[in-house]
Structure 1
Amino acid sequence: MSGIEFYTNRHIVSEVDSMRQKLGVLAKQYSATSAIIITDAGISQLGYVDIAQQSLQEAGVQVVVFDGVVADPPIEIVNNAIDLARTNQCDLIIGLGGGSSIDTAKIVALYPNDFQSITDILDIDLSSFKKLPLFAIPTTAGTGAEATFVSVITAKDGSKKAIYTPKILPDVAILDATLTLKLPRHITAATALDAMVHCIEAYTSRTKKNPISDALAIKGLQMLWNNFEKVLQQGDDINARADMLLASTLAGIAFVNGSVAAVHGLSYPLSINFHIPHGHANALVMCPVFSFNLPEAASMYAELARAVMPTQTSTMTDLEAANQFILQLKNFLEMSGLKYRLSELDITEKDIPALADIVISTYARLIATNPKDMTLEEVTTMYKEIL
């Protein structure tokens, strides 16, 4: 086994109502005097920003709010958030919301350094950069952004740009399941399937698989697997919601240290070109990719199958267990209520060659971590399987 470097948050709080009860207390532990809450308009309308503000203000922390984040945040939006933080000399950065809000907050936390736009810091070494204290408070159980040191933003040409450095790992993750109770069923499903993909790809990574990530991936997947139907059918079950939220964080820690792979490679063009939400896009392509990987990954999928379906798979061969694992993931997708054919999402056969070309030309790094190499023709075939 090669050497391991492993990163995770300094402090994780997993507790119902913890944003209300502990955000201000934790802010003072970091000597905060002025905080910026980075979120989107929908989260503001739900009243969650008001709860966060009150907790901070009761602790004597001044607060400004940037609620202009949108999905797949464009560079311009992130620059606007940086400008607001700089103007108010904020010394605590809080990302409240889904992955886009938290990813935006990660970059804003670098604002004390000498740059005018995010474009100035893409593709450079950020190891010497200063970072302000950074809190992440997820409102979905899926992206794992609260536990990762990658921020994905959208360039002017529509391509996704990643800033990937332990420098932007959130210091504190607050996992408050009450913030997920109002999630619509389709978002609950898509984000849960996203987190499952994170666990599976971390566990089967060709380049960064390691025992620490493996343990977290297995535990996270078990919690997601056991609660998936429950949160779809009983969205107000706070215990199931709390398990899903913690599992998403475990998945995030696993994949940022173990890597994601070709599922993400095939999903990104769907999000960029057709605006399919990231979790839904991952769910669409996961089964074709996992089936394609079987010649190299059957034993690992079998290990995961035995962890989540021990009785059902105990007497199966590795290949049988792996196929049963993929079949159940397909059942989860069908159960979710999400559209699971590309044609249902206005994608036609003539769109597929361009999508496959993007995968091979732009996301080769994600093919490199996949258990099995794939060609342009093989990517094309996988897209056609779900047309």
Structure 2
Amino acid sequence: MSRLFMPVKVYEGEDVVINEASTWTKLGRKALIVTGKHSAKANGSLDDVIKALDLNEIPYIIFDKVEENPSVETIMDAVAFAKDEKVEFVVAIGGGSPLDASKSIALMLKHLDWDASNLFVANEDDSHLPLCLIPTTCGTGSEVTGVSVLTRHDLRTKQSISYKIFADIALLDAKYLISLSPKNLKNTAMDAFCHLVESYINSGASVYSRNICMEGFNSFRQILAVLKDERKADMKDYFTLLRTSTYAGMAIAQAGTTIPHGLSYAFTYRLGVEHGKACGYFLAGYLKMACKKWTCNTPEISNQIYDDFKASDEFKTLGEYEVNRILNAAGIKDIPEFEELFIKLCGDVNESESLDTVLNDTVDAVFNNKAKLAMVPFELTREDLVEIAYNMKIEGE
């Protein structure tokens, strides 16, 4: 059965925060602005939000203490900050960290009698304050997903909360990407690419989500030269980068992420590897495993694709054919070229005495996560996970 659920109203365009102010400021009579310490001020997005609120005579308070990979403790600090302020909606500005954090904050502000443990114990009440999300990076697609990933210091990893919290409105203006550092731009674009691949090679994928992925791969191909420093970005490129991320967010909202993301969380927490880079580190290994094991035995793999595979002498398995087809759609020749692209965009992961320990621990964690394994459209043994996890380490030797 194919399905599509995308409740977020998305507005894209230059100066969209101001131009659509009459739409999103109707979410409530007082706003809580959630953001990080620096980037929203530097790229002008915070000024735009404040201007729009002032023009529409909506009072606001600002919580600007969201760190990278926001913690549960930060969520509870924000709730304590806002609980007596009678805020009626939340506006979040930034990359995935403020956007993800805002979903948990909006949930907890609706349930002031809850403690932090409630974030990870689902019940039927997922009510939350209305949300307006404004992305200023091009990676997570959090503006159109229901996911809120938080750092759990008690478990020494990252974990999604047990609720799907979608925004009411997402506002996309690519001018906020201009001030991103090249490193941040490339790492977040790698995250978006991982979202596209993981939601395509996924047991929860549908004909709709895979078509969204193909649009995302096409967008990624259009900005690949920018990411590889072969030409400078113009405003059209920045909108393409942002749109690629949003397509990817729409895709994972339908299907979710799989093994590369599952392996990445402890990698980020324990080794300090940036999220997009951590996911990309495991992607080639996942693609290689898909080539060997993915039978593509689902209704969403069309007869035309199967017929094209049978007519080709180049590929041994349908999985290998499909993997190369989606890579080609993104402008990438094959898996070795992706491995080279990963190193060019994100750099290698520095070897350390703890790398093997972290890789083994994260393999164990993912292998024991039956929900994550169920999202993979082929069976994986622990040995398979080891092969995926160690792929880039072995390739680099």
Q: If the TM-score is normalised by the length of the shorter chain, which range does it land in? A: 0.7 to 0.9
- 1:62 deviates by 0.8
Structure 2 residues not aligned, in runs of 5+: 325-332
1:334 aligns with 2:343: yes
Q: Which structure 2 residues correspond to residues 349-364 of structure 1 after superposition, within 5 A?
A: 349-361=356-368, 363-364=369-370
Partner of 2:284: 287
Task: Give the partner amino acid of 1:179.
Answer: Y
Correspondent of 1:379 among 376, 385, 390: 385
Q: Specify whether residues 120 and 164 from structure 1 end up closer, same or farther in structure 2 by C-alpha distance, changes over 3 A only.
A: closer
Partner of 2:115: 117
Task: Give the partner amino acid of 1:375.
Answer: T
Partner of 1:8: 6
> Contact between 2:2 and 2:207, CA under 8 Å: does it hold in 1?
no
State how many pairs are aligned.
370
- 1:141 deviates by 0.7
Task: Give the partner amino acid of 1:156.
Answer: H
Structure 1 residues not aligned, in runs of 5+: none
Task: Give the partner amino acid of 2:356.
Answer: E
Q: In 2, Cα distance between the equivalents of 1:29 and 1:315? A: 58
Provide, for residues 48-72 of structure 1, a one-character-per-residue CA deviation record: whole Å limited to 9, x for no partner: 3122111211111112111100122
- 1:251 deviates by 1.0
1:368 aligns with 2:368: no
- 1:315 deviates by 8.1
Q: In 2, Cα distance between the equivalents of 1:228 and 1:91? A: 41
- Secondary structure of the 2:160 match is strand
Q: In 2, Cα distance between the equivalents of 1:383 and 1:335? A: 20
Q: Which structure 2 residues correspond to residues 213-224 of structure 1 after superposition, within 5 A?
A: 213-224=209-220
Task: Give the partner amino acid of 1:380.
Answer: V
Q: Specify whether residues 191 and 314 from structure 1 end up closer, same or farther in structure 2 by C-alpha distance, changes over 3 A only.
A: farther
Task: Give the partner amino acid of 1:352.
Answer: L
- Secondary structure of the 2:125 match is coil
Partner of 2:272: 275
Q: In 2, Cα distance between the equivalents of 1:315 and 1:159? A: 44
Task: Give the partner amino acid of 1:225.
Answer: R
Q: In 1, Cα distance between the equivalents of 2:174 and 2:40? A: 17
> Contact between 2:29 and 2:59, CA under 8 Å: does it hold in 1?
yes
Partner of 1:143: 140
Identity, in percent, stands at 22
Provide, for residues 298-354 of structure 1, a one-character-per-residue CA deviation record: whole Å limited to 9, x for no partner: 769xx99x99xx9xx998545367454323322321331x223452x7754354322
> Contact between 1:270 and 1:355, CA under 8 Å: does it hold in 2?
yes
Q: In 1, Cα distance between the equivalents of 2:335 and 2:188? A: 18
Task: Give the partner amino acid of 1:138.
Answer: P
- 1:26 deviates by 2.1
Partner of 2:329: none
1:80 aligns with 2:55: no
Length-normalised TM-score, structure 2:
0.85
> Contact between 2:2 and 2:208, CA under 8 Å: does it hold in 1?
no
Length-normalised TM-score, structure 1:
0.87
Task: Give the partner amino acid of 1:365.
Answer: A
Partner of 1:34: 30
